[in-house]
Amino acid sequence: MTAATETGHPSVLAKAVREGIFAGVISFLMFLLFVGIETYQDINNALVWRTRWGLLAIFVLVAAVGRFLTVGFIKPHLDQRKLAKAKSGVLEISESKSFFHRHFLKIALIFLLVYPFLSLLIVGKQGSLKYVDNFGIQILIYVMLAWGLNIVVGLAGLLDLGYVAFYAVGAYSYALLSSYFGFSFWLLLPMSGILAALWGVILGFPVLRLRGDYLAIVTLAFGEIIRLVLINWTDVTKGTFGISGIAKASFFGIWSFDTGSASSFVKAWGLSPSSVYYKIFLFYIILALCMLTAYVTIQLRRMPIGRAWEALREDEIACRSLGINTVTTKLTAFATGAMFGGFAGAFFATRQGFVSPESFVFLESAVILAIVVLGGMGSLTGIAIAAMVMVGGTEVLREMSFLKVVFGPDFTPELYRMLLFGLAMIIVMLFKPRGFVGSREPTAFLKERRAVSGSFTKEGHG
Amino acid sequence: MALGTTTMTNDTILKVEHLSMKFGGLMAINDLSLEARRGEITALIGPNGAGKTTVFNCITGFYKPTMGMLTLQRRDGKEFLLERLRDFEIPKLAGVARTFQNIRLFSGLTVLENLLVAQHNALMKASGYTLLGLLGFPTYRRAVDASIEKAKYWLDKADLTDRADDPAGDLPYGAQRRLEIARAMCTGPELLCLDEPAAGLNPRESAALNTLLHQIRDEGVSILLIEHDMSVVMQISDHVVVLEYGQKISDGSPDHVKNDPRVIAAYLGVEDDEVEEVIAVELEGGNH
């Protein structure tokens, strides 16, 4: 800002004042009837009106001052920065990476590893329940789901609007098999993944001929079919009542987290009973599952199958002309993505102890897809950041009670959560149309690994 | 898949017999028969809408022909009936690779990655359909090294080594054409089908393309190409087939085709009765 005020040329300032006044006049005319006049009913139920000049003045002032500041200070400042950047050349970008920037992934991983203990230290047992469970586990579940969907949408370019179906298959696989047969979590976790992958293949077969919008609609329908089956097949799934009392995961069969159990984890370690230990354990499980997803994705991208997925996203016809069987390639993408959805579902079921079809509505699919798009299709780091912003953001917005100071005591932040959230998404997509990380890391190189700009990559046609 | 029903001498790589392709009521190709000989550059020429690209799409499996037989004979004597193979099996089993009239590169992948994708089938096998590869088996690692060597070889031939790590979409037009050919060559084909490889190239790029095609032929790969640019066709092809309205009107050496009155008529447009006249003169000339 200081640099801008120095260059605050008189003609620029004059222009700013002019445009500010102009914006004020326009907003006055626009808001005069909308804001300045309010209609209400009096005691006799007659419609009468009153004026709200104060509120109108605030609106007009915000518009006028905002325009004045934008034209007079912010825009010249931005222009100057752009100019300075252009002058200094492109090289500077790669050279001046900070320590934090270079080791971002390592730092993030270390932070995640100590996060539960950090929260335990800072806010104590009871307080850290919220931070480990609502923030930590919740975000990581979405990170895993989004990384799973990323294989289908980000790499293979197949738009899947029904991804939550695989999440549901995983969750119900665990819930049903554990409550009917009493299998343990560690046996059912891989099984849920395999069952979900199987459903991925079953979905894949009929929709392989479809592309783009048609594929999206059919996958959407598939997601709804799974949900409706779960609701209506009451003999097995108990319909909308859901399945409760799902077994907790044990500490690899050694200790149990059930309070009454003989081999209780809390007793074995001589700790005071608290559910926070189980939550911390779950946090590490989902962290490990996320790492597995990331590892497999990174490895697969370097394998011929991963390259074929990306090639499929870029140009399907060219793929076929090179002898790539697009049918099996698409099926493996569907199955792999579905498998991770299934893992996440099994984890979700054991964490909640309760599953019902309510948890697997279309909105979930939409949120997961939004995370993938917002993060930058194909980029694991970008997607993790996006999951943090979107899921963590909505959790934080629940607690924005300070907004009551601004909007009055009637304001309930929970109700405006989705509105603010949508607004934030639009703003991000305006400034970063390719997502947080739009560039793509090549999987092989001769001399140096250079990121491919997002302007060259395609989104796929289905 | 090996069928010994048709008799083919070993120097014929592709034999098209009575090929017809109908789109609704439109007869795009009508009873076309032609042959491409091994180790030669065969050019398919003809005015716009003559059905050249349709022939290509039939050969490479993108269209299923209404009628006819397309026989490809590999060097080891195995024969494939292309109209019975699925599109991705034609490059995989029969060794036919193609390029497209409107370039179809994987623009978001680097040049090197484009060439590695082309070696998908070999790498897939070496990686034990991904499983052995994930475990890091040495056979897979050797296969990866070999695939990079092969990519380097074709990068060098196509003069793209300097740009190996750039996104394919960032290359200039002529380089994209050469990359598409290099990518097709990385599938290890015996027959390379090029759909207008010289379209939109400047004279220098065109000359570079000619050298590349000659090098490919010298490696024993046969080439079938569609081309509009007559100078390219006459310079590099060993054998020319001319199509008009889905039918073959001439077939032979470049010199023969160049002087064929029906070809001249097709390209320059002559009144119908005049064509009769020209043919009559030609026939008379032959009689003497």
Q: B207-233, pLDDT tens digit by residue? A: 888 888 888 988 889 999 998 777 778
Q: Are B53 and B21 within 8 A, CB to CB?
A: no
Please tell me whether residues B234 and B126 are part of one structural domain.
Answer: no
Instruction: Give me the long-range contacts of B255-258 (CB less than 8 A, separation at least 24).
Output: B257/B45, B258/B234
Contact B124 A305 (CB under 8 A): yes
Contact A323 B121 (CB under 8 A): yes
Please tell me whether residues B45 and B90 are part of one structural domain.
Answer: yes
A 10 A CB-CB count for B101 gives 14
- Phi/psi for B20 (5° steps) reads -130, 140
A454 → chain B, closest CA residue: B108
Contact A325 B133 (CB under 8 A): no
Contact B167 A453 (CB under 8 A): yes
Residues of chain B neighbouring A326 (CB-CB closer than 8 A): 88
Residues in B 55-84 with any Cβ partner in A closer than 8 A:
60, 62
Contact B127 A311 (CB under 8 A): no
Query: In the prediction, which pLDDT does A339 show?
Result: 94
Is residue A139's pLDDT more than 50? Answer: yes
Please tell me whether residues B75 and B201 are part of one structural domain.
Answer: yes
Least confident of A396-410, A413-427, B226-240: A396-410
Grouping H, G, I as helix, E, B as strand and the rest as coil, residue A123 is helix
Contact B127 A303 (CB under 8 A): yes
Please tell me whether residues B174 and B217 are part of one structural domain.
Answer: no
Q: Within a domain: residue B262? A: no
Q: Are strands B41-45 and B222-226 parallel, antiparallel or unpaired?
A: parallel
Q: Within a domain: residue B242? A: yes
> What average pLDDT does range A385-402 have in this prediction?
80
Tell me, what's the ipTM?
0.84
Comparing B8 with A164, the larger pLDDT belongs to A164
Instruction: Return d(Cα B59, Cα B121) in angstroms, integer.
Output: 20
> What average pLDDT does range B2-20 have in this prediction?
69
Q: Are A445 and B112 within 8 A, CB to CB?
A: yes
Please tell me whether residues B11 and B90 are part of one structural domain.
Answer: yes
Please tell me whether residues B121 and B86 are part of one structural domain.
Answer: no
Contact A452 B108 (CB under 8 A): yes
Contact B113 A444 (CB under 8 A): yes
Contact A449 B112 (CB under 8 A): no
**Domain stops at, among B187, B205, B229:** B187
Query: In the prediction, which pLDDT does A297 show?
Result: 92
A 10 A CB-CB count for B277 gives 13
Residues of chain B neighbouring A299 (CB-CB closer than 8 A): 134
Instruction: Return d(Cα A162, Cα A140) in angstroms, integer.
Output: 20
Is residue B2's pLDDT more than 80? Answer: no
> What average pLDDT does range A95-111 have in this prediction?
73
Query: In the prediction, which pLDDT does A260 show?
Result: 66
Q: Is the alpha carbon torsion for A165, A170, A173, A176 positive or negative?
A: negative
Residues of chain B neighbouring A325 (CB-CB closer than 8 A): 88, 92
Q: Are B18 and B68 within 8 A, CB to CB?
A: yes
**Domain stops at, among B187, B208, B230:** B187
Instruction: Return d(Cα A266, Cα A274) in angstroms, integer.
Output: 8
Residues of chain B neighbouring A197 (CB-CB closer than 8 A): none
Nearest residue to A310 (alpha-carbon basis) of A194, A318, B125: A318
The token pair at A146 is: 């989004």
What is the distance in angstroms between the Cα of B110 and the nearest Cα belonging to chain A?
Answer: 7
Contact B123 A304 (CB under 8 A): yes
Contact A317 B152 (CB under 8 A): no
Contact A445 B165 (CB under 8 A): yes
Contact A322 B91 (CB under 8 A): yes
A 10 A CB-CB count for A313 gives 26
Contact A456 B121 (CB under 8 A): no
B140 → chain A, closest CA residue: A303
Instruction: Return d(Cα B253, Cα A202) in angstroms, integer.
Output: 54
Is residue A254's pLDDT more than 60? Answer: yes
Q: What pLDDT, in 10s, does the model give residues A295-351?
A: 999 989 888 999 999 999 998 889 989 989 888 899 999 999 999 999 999 999 988
Cα dihedral A120→A125→A127→A129 (10° resolution): 90
Q: Does B120 touch chain A (CB under 8 A)?
A: yes
Please provide the average confidence, as pLDDT, over all residues in chain A: 83
Q: In which domain, by residue range, is B208 found? A: 1-95+189-255
Is residue A6's pLDDT more than 70? Answer: no
- Work out how many CB contacts closer than 8 A connect A with B: 133
Q: Within a domain: residue B20? A: yes
- Phi/psi for A160 (5° steps) reads -115, 110
Query: In the prediction, which pLDDT does A169 show?
Result: 93
Please tell me whether residues B202 and B158 are part of one structural domain.
Answer: no
Residues of chain B neighbouring A323 (CB-CB closer than 8 A): 88-92, 120-121, 187
Please tell me whether residues B2 and B55 are part of one structural domain.
Answer: yes
Please tell me whether residues B44 and B78 are part of one structural domain.
Answer: yes
Q: Within a domain: residue B283? A: no
What is the distance in angstroms between the Cα of A257 and the nearest Cα belonging to chain B?
Answer: 35
Contact B87 A440 (CB under 8 A): no
> What average pLDDT does range B192-217 have in this prediction?
87
Mutate which of A322, A437, A457 to test chain B, going by most B C-beta atoms within 10 A?
A322
Residues of chain B neighbouring A313 (CB-CB closer than 8 A): 108
**Which stretch, A238-247, A257-266, B129-138, has highest mean pLDDT?**
A238-247
Q: What pLDDT, in 10s, does the model give residues A44-61?
A: 888 888 888 888 888 899
What is the distance in angstroms between the Cα of A244 and the nearest Cα belonging to chain B?
Answer: 38
| Residue ranges of chain A that CATH labels 1.10.3470 | 106-398
Least confident of A4-8, A37-41, B167-171: A4-8
Is residue B93's pLDDT more than 50? Answer: yes
Percent of chain B, pLDDT > 70?
90
Least confident of A277-281, A343-347, A451-455: A451-455
Q: How many domains does chain B have?
A: 2
Nearest residue to B188 (alpha-carbon basis) of B159, B143, B161, B220: B220
Please tell me whether residues B86 and B139 are part of one structural domain.
Answer: no
Q: What is the CATH number of the domain that holds B217?
A: 3.40.50.300
Q: Does B188 touch chain A (CB under 8 A)?
A: no
> What average pLDDT does range A209-218 have in this prediction?
83
Task: Output the CATH code of domain A106-398.
Answer: 1.10.3470
b/e per residue A248-270 (b: at least 16 CB within 10 A): bbbeeeebbbeeeeeebbbeeee
pLDDT band at A461 (very low <50, low <70, confident <90, very high): low
A296 → chain B, closest CA residue: B134
Query: In the prediction, which pLDDT does A4 show?
Result: 43
Contact A457 B110 (CB under 8 A): no
Is residue A93's pLDDT more than 60? Answer: no
Residue A380 to residues A291, B223, B229, Cα–Cα distance (Å): 11, 43, 47
What is the distance in angstroms between the Cα of B88 and the nearest Cα belonging to chain A?
Answer: 4
> What average pLDDT does range A216-220 have in this prediction?
89
Please tell me whether residues B56 and B127 are part of one structural domain.
Answer: no
**Domain stops at, among B187, B204, B232:** B187
- Sheet strands (E) in A204-294: 243-244
Q: Are A313 and A460 within 8 A, CB to CB?
A: yes
pLDDT band at B4 (very low <50, low <70, confident <90, very high): very low
Residues of chain A neighbouring B163 (CB-CB closer than 8 A): none
Q: Does B167 touch chain A (CB under 8 A)?
A: yes
pLDDT band at B1 (very low <50, low <70, confident <90, very high): very low
Q: Are B100 and A322 within 8 A, CB to CB?
A: no
